[in-house]
Amino acid sequence: MISKAVVEALQQFVPDENILLQEPMAGHTTFRIGGPADCFVQLESGEQLKKVQKYLHLVGVPFFILGNGSNLLVKDEGYGGVILQIGKKMSRISVQGCRIVAQAGAALSQAAHAALEHGLTGLEFASGIPGTVGGGVVMNAGAYGGEMSQVVTEVTVVNSEGETLKLDNSTMEFGYRTSIIKHSSFTVTEVAFCLERGDKESIKTRMEELAARRKEKQPLEYPSAGSTFKRPEGRFAGQLIMEAGFRGFQIGGARVSDKHCGFIINTGEATAEDVRQIIAEIQRQVKDRFHVALETEVVFLGWEDI
């Protein structure tokens, strides 16, 4: 449990109404699964983040940075620390010429539509990705041949000492579903994109085409965390899972999608443990049958042994 002293300290940095105790995480993940966080803090600025993050590091209280929760599985028992949400309260977007600057809490779809409005091309791939700009940069999110590394020019971060740093594209060490931030204590506060001039109708048509492809091939009607596993080199996770006989495989309320075997869906009453068990069983059998170790895109929060 978070002590009263810690809560009182946080109240010095963040408005009281932005600090929630025992907040159910099911309402903050696209899986719609997860027990309560001891303390949930909605941040409104980079300055608040600096002060809160520096304080929590100083007193040794565990914390987790949350965006839209689109690749997160929170344990049913919850999280015994502080969740720092960079979301709608930090989602401003500005456009200057071919440059878009977005706060980390802005939705990727929001940034893509801002680009469309200004006749800028390059972010169409991101229009259907359910995460935030900050989360997208951390994991170098991508789809349909596009990824963040192709359009990001500068990333503003805060380190554990509460200092603001600016990282250019080459410093980000982008890779497949990874970046330098994924393996550091940096927290993203703002991202700058450099795009190109394009035809609005062509941009809109491309976004509509990608939306139709997603609707056709992905189980968007169910809560999920998107692709459960990273793509193994030279293979496709969904194909391996299907060939291993997991299409429609179900534990409790969690199920391997019949539409796309790379997705584990919440049919309505799934628990985090249901999902975890399916993931573990898929990993075991795919490793045994095809000698391929599937690595999750899903982040586990609350488990100490994963």
Task: Give dist(CA 224, CA 298) in Å, integer.
Answer: 10
Q: 114 and 100 in contact (C-beta within 8 Å)?
A: yes
Is 221 one of the catalytic residues?
A: no
Secondary structure (3-state) at 235: coil
252 Ramachandran zone, left/alpha/beta (phi>0; psi -120 to 50): left
304 CB-contact burial (10 Å; exposed 0-12 / middle 13-18 / buried 19+): exposed
Is 216 one of the catalytic residues?
A: no
Task: Say which of 23, 124, 190, 297 is annotated catalytic.
Answer: 297
Secondary structure (3-state) at 302: coil
Task: Say which of 190, 227, 255, 276 is annotated catalytic.
Answer: 227
Is 99 one of the catalytic residues?
A: no
Task: Give dist(CA 233, CA 68) in Å, integer.
Answer: 28
Q: 100 and 115 in contact (C-beta within 8 Å)?
A: yes
For tokens 């007193």, name the residue: 59
Q: Are strands 72-74 and 299-301 parallel, antiparallel or unpaired?
A: parallel
Secondary structure (3-state) at 208: helix
Task: Give dist(CA 282, CA 288) in Å, integer.
Answer: 10
Q: Which residues contact residue 171 at a Cβ distance below 8 angstroms, ignoring those fewer than 6 apart?
A: 180
Task: Say which of 124, 177, 179, 190 is annotated catalytic.
Answer: 177
Known catalytic residues are 177, 227, 297
